[in-house]
Amino acid sequence: MANHAWVIDQTSCIGCHACTTACKSENDVPLGVNRTWVKYVERGTFPATRRDIAVLRCNHCEEPPCVEICPTTAMFKRPDGIVDFDTGRCIGCKACLQACPYDAIYIDPHEHVAEKCNFCSHRVDQGLLPACVVVCPTESLLFGDLEDPRSRVAQVVASRPTTVRRPEQATRPNAFYLGATATALDPLAPVHADAYMWSERRRGGAKDHSAAIAALEAEAPPVRGGARVAYDAFHPEPWGWKVALYLWTKNIGAGVWALAFLAPALGLVALSRELRLAAAFASLAFIGLTTLLLVWDLKRPERFWTILIRPQRRSWLALGSFVLVGYSGLLGLWFLGTWFGADETLLLVLGAPTVVLAALASLYTAFLLAQCEARDLWQNPAVFFVLLAHMTVLGAAGLLVAAAATGGLDTIAGFARAALVGGGVLGVAALLSGEAGAGRTTANARAAGHLLVRGPFRTHFWLGGVLLAGLVPVAVAALAPAAPAALLAAGLLAAAGALWYEFGFVAAGQAVPIS
């Protein structure tokens, strides 16, 4: 079977951008987005100055993370190796933008769906070479079948030293570079200044933070001649406040009812019917809100339902949707059962799978984030424990509010205190161990860690994650063990801290340049 690949010859590429405009023309690519672009990096001190060039685009990976994360099979790998997309199936969730470690995918501003280089598959299917290959003045773009020994691509890959972008991502890229320098291919090697040599640098993407990363990582003040990007294309942060808020509402939706169910189920404390109903209602409301945020964040929200009818079973975005639907359904039944006074045993039996789904509703995000191959910060195993911690803390806070509303604050105080302490300790431990572990993984993770812990997002980490969502509830629980009102306040502070942390966590993960 054919396996199509690029060879990009940077020994002969003159950086003329013909590929860029030929691609825009062939594929009707709007302003503001690119399927292929040319990056220039300047380095060295006059007169030993160099300008390195790299043509960047989809790598048509052997293990394409965009395909794995796509919830609707809109991204798919063809039998001939082309990673293609189906605009009719895309819901615009942008997960593939988080999965692609190469910034190759964009949301088309016209159709609002994910698109990228697909080797001009419509041309390939007609026996025509991709448009960029045809236009290239210097024959620096080679397209061909790695399995066909007659193809130039196969011959070059077999006989000459080639490199790939970001091999540490283990995607097995099928774009092989000849003579590309590390400064041109490594997104963290050069710094992005305020502008480029002949264009503005758009704000709102990871490249805004490159100078901060360099400063955080530098062991000495910068010297002249450091690598600097002289031209590049813009890539926005795909996920914003809605996703951060979604993490928070989801943890509330998962945690409040889960704690309300577990407390009596484990025989710790009996809860009033009102409190149980209130907790279930709060969870339902917050899961509903979560779903609303998720759908709202889609670029094609009207296609949301296609996740359910055409799911891509390896995508944690699809699996997570099923979890949310399942959890809401069972929780709804449990709520009705409680409302109508159903048998407690029956409710217990119903609650057991529901609580599993509640936990999954919070924790599946760790697996989803693990599929976001572009964001190494989010790959950290600590994410799982932070979610668990925040679900617990937020659940306790929510339960305290519900109890205050239903008049049972005193009954629940002990249980909530334990949950707050447990969640707080786990949270702080996870955050600190995650930070400690980040340095041992990839450069991207290290950079994101620096941004989050010591950089522009540090208040999110320290104030939000460590102090408010961790140390404050622990301290209050220890210092004021018998003051439910103080616990309630601590819970609210912890909830605010968790939200503040999520904003930083979501932003920092996307704040490291990947192209």
Minimum CB–partner distance for residue 298 and another protein (Å): 21
Closest to another protein by CB, 10 or 406: 10
Closest to another protein by CB, 224 or 440: 224
Closest to another protein by CB, 202 or 242: 202
Minimum CB–partner distance for residue 233 and another protein (Å): 9
Q: Note the residues at the interface with another protein (CB under 8 A).
A: 12, 14-18, 20-22, 24-28, 30-32, 40, 42, 44-47, 49-53, 109-110, 120, 122-129, 131, 133-139, 142-145, 148, 150-153, 193-200, 202, 224-225, 230-231, 234
Of 95, 93, 110, the residue nearest 298 (C-alpha): 93
Minimum CB–partner distance for residue 9 and another protein (Å): 9
Specify whether the CB–CB gap between 505 and 404 falls below 8 A: no
- Non-local (6+) Cβ contacts of 508 within 8 A are 377, 448, 451, 452, 455, 457, 460
Q: b vs e for 164-191, b when ≥16 Cβ sit within 10 Å of the residue's Cβ?
A: bbbeebebebbbbbbbbbebbbbbbbbb
Specify whether the CB–CB gap between 103 and 185 falls below 8 A: no
Minimum CB–partner distance for residue 501 and another protein (Å): 32
Specify whether the CB–CB gap between 178 and 160 falls below 8 A: yes
Minimum CB–partner distance for residue 369 and another protein (Å): 29
Residue 299: CA count within 13 A, CB half-sphere: 24
Closest to another protein by CB, 132 or 280: 132
Of 193, 230, 224, 228, the residue nearest 46 (C-alpha): 224
Of 94, 76, 102, 70, the residue nearest 168 (C-alpha): 102
Minimum CB–partner distance for residue 106 and another protein (Å): 12
Minimum CB–partner distance for residue 112 and another protein (Å): 13
Minimum CB–partner distance for residue 50 and another protein (Å): 6
Closest to another protein by CB, 48 or 220: 48
Tell me which DSSP letter residue 157 carries: H
Gyration radius of the chain's alpha carbons: 25
Distance CA 416, CA 365 (A): 24
Q: For 124-128, which contacts have Cβ atoms below 8 Å and span 24 or more sequence positions? A: 124/4, 124/80, 124/82
Closest to another protein by CB, 132 or 453: 132
Closest to another protein by CB, 139 or 302: 139
Closest to another protein by CB, 3 or 59: 3
